[in-house]
Every structure is written in structure tokens, then in C-alpha cells.
Amino acid sequence: MGLAVGIVGLPNVGKSTTFNALTKAQNAESANYPFCTIEPNKAVVPVPDERLEELAKIVNPERIQHSTIDFVDIAGLVKGASKGEGLGNKFLSNIREVEVILHMVRCFEDENITHVEGGIDPLRDIEIIEGELILADVEQLEKKIAKLQREAKTQKEAKAKLALAEDLKAHLDELQPVSTFPKQEDETFQELDRELRFLSNKPIIYGANTDEEGLLEDNAYVVALREHAAATGADVIKLCAKIEEELVGLEDEEAKEFLTELGIEESGLEQIIKTAFRKLGLISYFTAGVKEVRSWTIHEGWAAPKAASVIHNDFEKGFIRAEVISYEDFIKYGGEQGAKEAGKMRLEGKEYIVQDGDVMHFRFNV
């Protein structure tokens, strides 16, 4: 669907290591020096969903196809990036193209791994990165204000937009992110946000990169990060990038055993992927046939014809109706036939809002 999560952070906080583990391939070079990553690495990552395996046990398909999310590994930012320091504005523009930010934060001590700021302090690191996002937004907004000032001399609608832009500029000048601007619901603001794609208005997930000890019990760095996230409404996922990379080479059962030995139910990466999927406002519906059991990605709130379009545009154009079975009923009654016999298959029309986990079959005519 063209939706992406950008992995950001200071140099040497575990971004590329996390990206390698996410993609289950060593696509991003990892090294103990800043700016190892220069071009943004992109990868399509399957969304873990145990429901697909359960559907497959009933249908016995030739293949299983998961929903996916795009992850982008963006080079380490440094203080002054908005003014071109380090590799600067190039990477800020990479962030502008993503919908959700995964902000990796180092939460462990290791004298063998350098820190660009000379010591470990998650809240300082966050302040640096998010301060650069705000300053980049200020720069964008100033250019827009200059344009609106010219337009406002002859265009009424430009005056209203200019007034709001100036209010937002005052807000940003206090080093407050766009996400806390009180006029978020204003149509003029939303139009401005769609145009400028404000960096500091993007949802954030914090990835707390710990050592093995910190993974088992929150250390002081993780505690401080959780407190900050709670105050800003962000999610925190704790992981040990080193361990996640070790899991890459293991079979699924071996990986589960390894996590169980550590006392962990789900890997940090699985939590990140699922949280990112939710942050993007996405859900999945399923198709289940002998050729494949497949998860289809749609936005929450989509009606049936729009949901059908992700399979093929013709499905939306010629939509007649959808045959729908909830995932729970499909499993409970042993598949489509059993659900039909139990009266659990519904015929839904154009107004039906698709629910997460619906097992669907579309009727259409073009």
C-alpha cells in the first residue's frame, strides 16, 4: 500500500542491526562508526499473524501470503542535521516520505561501541533527534509562510491559511512538535500537513535497544524512556538488537525455544512490526482457498468495495456483494462449508465496513 516505517536515531544506536534482523537478511552494513548507512535501505517485511497458520491447517493451501510493511533504514542523524551537519537534510527528506517513525534509542553501556555524544543518555538523544525534526519543520514552514504572505494580498483563502501557519510557527519556535499543536482538527491545518508532511507530526515508536540484562529487567535507561513515552503518548518496544540478529539464523521452533529460555513470549521485532501495523491504521482480511491463504492489507474503516480493490481494481468497479465469515467462526466450524451450514456466512453489500480478520469472497461483474 506504499506505507512505510522509517528507522531513525543517532549513529551507532543499533538501527542497521535492527534493520538486518527485521528483514532476515544482511542488507544494511553494520559497523562501529558514524554514517555507515548512507543510502536509505528499504525492505518489505511480513507481518507476523498466527491466524494465517490456523486457517492453513483447515484449508491446506499451496502457499501462505502474509500482509507486509515497508521499513526504511535511514542514516544516523546528528545535532545540526537540519542545518546540514553530518549528512543532514538528505536524511530529513527521507524521513518525510515515511508515515511512522521507529526511533531507536540506545539503552545499554558498552565501552567497545562508541557513542557520538560521548555517553549514554536516552532522553538527551531523543531531544537531539526530535529537536532536529522540529527545526526542519520550521524551515519548511517559513518558506510556506513567505509564499502565503504574497498570496494573501489577493486571495481570501490564503489569509486564513497564513494565520494558522503563523500560529503553528509560534508553536514550533517554542520547540514544541507539530503533534502537540492544539488545532490538529482544523481542516486548514490538515491541508497544510498533507502538503508539507511535517516530520514532528509523525507517530513515533521508541525502540529501546538494551543488552541482555536490560532485556530481562528494565534498567534505569529504559525506565526513563518509558516515562518520557508515557508523557507523549508514544509506544516503547524493548529489544536487544544483538539477540534479535542471532534469532535471524534460527528456525521458527528454535527461535521460540531460545526466547522461552530467556523468559520472553515474543521477540522485540515481532512487537515492532505489529505495533507499526497498528500505528499505520491498518488491518487485515483473509482469503482462504486451495491455491493460497492470504492476508490483505487495508485501512481500518474501509467499505467492502474499496477493500476488494487491493485484490484487483475490477473487484471494486464491478462489486456485487461480499461473502463474509468471521475468523473465529471459520475456525470454530472447520472452514467455509461448516460455517455456511451453521448460518455463519453473511452476504454484505457496498456499505459493509470490513473488520479485522474477516474471511471474504467477493462477487463482482465487469
Question: β-strand 359-364 against 319-325: which pairing, if any?
Answer: antiparallel
The verdict on 191 and 274 lying in the same domain is yes
Could you tell me if 321 and 345 are in contact, meaning their C-beta atoms sit under 8 angstroms apart? no
343: how many CB neighbours lie within 10 A of its CB? 9
The average pLDDT across 225-245 equals 91
Write the Ramachandran bin of 335: left for phi over 0, alpha for psi from -120 to 50, otherwise beta.
Answer: left
Model pLDDT, residue 258: 85
The average pLDDT across 125-145 equals 91
The verdict on 259 and 353 lying in the same domain is no
Distances (CA, A) of 329 to 197, 264, 341, 344, 359: 41, 30, 11, 7, 9
Q: Say if 288 falls within a structural domain.
A: no
The verdict on 212 and 344 lying in the same domain is no
Q: Say if 291 falls within a structural domain.
A: no
| pLDDT above 80 (res 232) | yes
The verdict on 16 and 98 lying in the same domain is yes
Q: Say if 28 falls within a structural domain.
A: yes
Q: Say if 145 falls within a structural domain.
A: yes
Model pLDDT, residue 124: 93
What φ, ψ does residue 262 adopt, rounded to 5°?
A: -80, -10
Work out the angle at residue 132's Cα, subtended by the Cα atoms of residues 129 and 134, and round it to the nearest 5 degrees.
Answer: 115
Residue 353 sits in a domain whose CATH number is 3.10.20.30
Mean residue pLDDT of the chain comes to 86
Q: Say if 147 falls within a structural domain.
A: yes
The verdict on 327 and 222 lying in the same domain is no
Among 321, 286, 333, 311, smallest CA distance to 66 is for: 286
Question: β-strand 346-348 against 100-106: which pairing, if any?
Answer: unpaired
The verdict on 114 and 219 lying in the same domain is yes
pLDDT digit string, tens, across residues 157-205: 889 899 999 999 999 999 999 999 999 999 999 999 999 999 999 999 9
Better-predicted residue by pLDDT, 332 or 129: 332
Q: Say if 219 falls within a structural domain.
A: yes
Model pLDDT, residue 215: 85
Better-predicted residue by pLDDT, 331 or 116: 331
- What is the residue range of 37's domain? 4-278
The verdict on 86 and 232 lying in the same domain is yes
Domain end point (choices 278, 310, 344): 278
Contacts of residue 84, Cβ cutoff 8 Å, sequence gap at least 6: none
pLDDT digit string, tens, across residues 53-77: 999 999 999 999 998 888 888 765 5
Q: Say if 293 falls within a structural domain.
A: no
pLDDT digit string, tens, across residues 3-49: 788 888 888 888 888 888 877 643 433 333 333 333 447 778 888 89
| DSSP H helices in 40-121 | 50-59, 88-96
The verdict on 211 and 355 lying in the same domain is no
Model pLDDT, residue 241: 86
Q: Name the residue type at position 33.
A: Y
Count structural domains, the chain. 2
Model pLDDT, residue 126: 93
Domain end point (choices 278, 310, 334): 278
Contacts of residue 346, Cβ cutoff 8 Å, sequence gap at least 6: 323, 324, 325
* Torsion angle in degrees (nearest 10) through CA of 173, 179, 184, 187: 90
The verdict on 111 and 166 lying in the same domain is yes
Residue 200 sits in a domain whose CATH number is 3.40.50.300
The verdict on 306 and 199 lying in the same domain is no
The verdict on 220 and 356 lying in the same domain is no
Model pLDDT, residue 78: 52
The verdict on 346 and 258 lying in the same domain is no
| pLDDT above 80 (res 356) | yes
Contacts of residue 16, Cβ cutoff 8 Å, sequence gap at least 6: 28, 29, 30, 36, 37, 41, 73
Compute the distance between CA of residue 159 and CA of residue 152 in angstroms, rounded to an integer.
5
Could you tell me if 186 and 235 are in contact, meaning their C-beta atoms sit under 8 angstroms apart? no
What φ, ψ does residue 297 adopt, rounded to 5°?
A: -90, 130
Q: Say if 287 falls within a structural domain.
A: no
